[in-house]
């Protein structure tokens, strides 16, 4: 099974200057948990609903004053439309991410692949529940370690002013 067979082709995105309030509105209306951040026609980062929630909860700034560019993750892993889904699962597990932007050889955005997209297609084309569960375990194991490490912090992280 190829990435292009399961990816979401209608991608929601914004630019780095978009404020957190507008980004949240886009996520709400498009029913998605992440936005690709596109700058000069290229994916510059990714911001999730979790990123927004934590930034707004730990900052004294309003959503309208907080640009997505200050919150987004900049280390984005990609896959290609013709990649095998199992290869994308390996990338997700290694990078511990739930979503991969899908770009062609020229770097043009073609879609986004989420662990949910793949999970909904288990049992087809030889893709097993075990394939997906192994990836999810790798993704969430890091998140549990991160939360444990952060509990002892006395000062919450703040987004750049």
Going along the chain from its start, the domains and CATH numbers come out as 3-151 (3.10.580.10)
Q: What is the pTM of this model?
A: 0.79
Q: Encoding tokens for residue 8?
A: 């979401």
Distance separating alpha carbons of residues 82 and 103, to the nearest angstrom:
10
Question: Which residues have a Cβ under 8 Å from the Cβ of 22 and sit 6 or more positions away?
Answer: 14
Task: Print pLDDT tens along the chain (161 aa).
Answer: 999 999 999 999 999 999 999 999 999 999 999 999 999 888 999 999 999 999 988 888 888 889 999 988 899 999 999 999 999 999 999 999 999 999 999 888 999 999 999 999 888 877 888 888 888 888 888 555 554 434 333 333 334 33
H helix intervals, 1-155: 3-6, 20-30, 49-58, 85-95, 115-119, 129-151
């Amino acid at each position: 099974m190829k990435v292009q067979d399961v990816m979401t082709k209608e991608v929601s995105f914004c630019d780095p200057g978009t404020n957190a309030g507008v980004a949240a509105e886009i996520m709400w209306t498009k029913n998605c948990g992440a936005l690709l951040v596109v700058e000069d026609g290229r994916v510059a980062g990714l911001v999730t609903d979790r990123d927004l929630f934590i930034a707004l909860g730990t900052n004294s700034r309003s959503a309208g004053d907080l640009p997505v560019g200050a919150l987004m993750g900049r280390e984005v892993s990609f896959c290609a439309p013709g990649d095998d889904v199992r290869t994308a699962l390996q990338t997700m597990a290694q990078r511990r991410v739930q979503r991969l932007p899908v770009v062609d050889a020229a770097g043009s955005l073609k879609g986004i692949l989420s662990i949910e997209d793949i999970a909904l297609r288990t049992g087809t084309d030889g893709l097993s529940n075990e394939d997906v569960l192994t990836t999810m375990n790798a993704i969430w194991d890091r998140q549990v370690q991160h939360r444990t490490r952060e509990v002892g912090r006395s000062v919450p992280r703040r987004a750049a002013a």
